[in-house]
């Protein structure tokens, strides 16, 4: 029997997939636990409509991520901090410091998406920012003494 899963089911499939299961399994497990519905014409049409909406949203998110990537890669930020004699910093540069520097340039980034390398001395660094699933940008960060 063909069904459309409304939730992820172990060893059967993921949400939104059309899978074959035995009729007893559907009637005794899938249906009572609201894990899926029968794959009739009406439900398949709803699924296709829903998948089209998800694809539009996905395309929109990818477009926004690519625009942000371009902005970030064309930007260079400078962070001024206190440093010792040999260029060692008192402390280190955090994701929040990088986020604040980007906010000053009107670029919105979640601090959790910044994949920070250990920046503990003066110099120039490249920091990777994960924008979307497969999309990441490289930001140039210059660390200078105050």
Instruction: Tell me the backbone φ, ψ of residue 126, rounded to 5 degrees.
Output: -115, 125
- Asked if the model's pLDDT at residue 91 lies above 80, the reply is yes
Sign of the alpha-carbon dihedral angle for 60, 62, 64, 67:
negative
pTM (whole model) above 0.85: no
pLDDT digits (tens, 9 = 90+) for 5-55: 999 999 999 998 999 999 999 999 999 999 999 999 999 999 999 899 999
Confidence at 74, pLDDT banded by 50, 70, 90: very high
Q: Are 127 and 139 in contact (CB under 8 A)?
A: yes
Three-state DSSP class for residue 16:
coil
What is the band of 57 on the pLDDT scale with cuts at 50, 70, 90? very high
Residue 50 backbone dihedrals phi, psi, to 5 degrees: -65, -40
pLDDT average, residue stretch 1-7: 93
């Amino acid at each position: 029997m063909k069904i459309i899963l409304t939730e992820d089911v172990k060893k059967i499939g993921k949400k939104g997939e059309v899978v074959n299961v035995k009729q007893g399994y559907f009637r005794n497990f899938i249906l009572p636990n609201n894990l899926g519905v029968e794959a009739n014409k009406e439900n398949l049409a709803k699924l296709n409509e829903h998948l089209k909406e998800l694809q539009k949203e996905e395309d929109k998110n990818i477009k926004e991520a690519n625009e942000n990537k371009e902005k970030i890669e064309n930007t260079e930020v400078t962070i001024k901090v206190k440093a010792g004699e040999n260029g060692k910093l008192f402390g280190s540069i955090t994701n929040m410091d990088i986020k604040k520097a980007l906010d000053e340039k009107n670029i919105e980034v979640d601090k959790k998406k910044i994949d920070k390398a250990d920046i503990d001395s003066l110099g120039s660094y490249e920091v990777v920012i994960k924008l979307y699933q497969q999309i990441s940008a490289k930001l140039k960060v210059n660390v200078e003494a105050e």
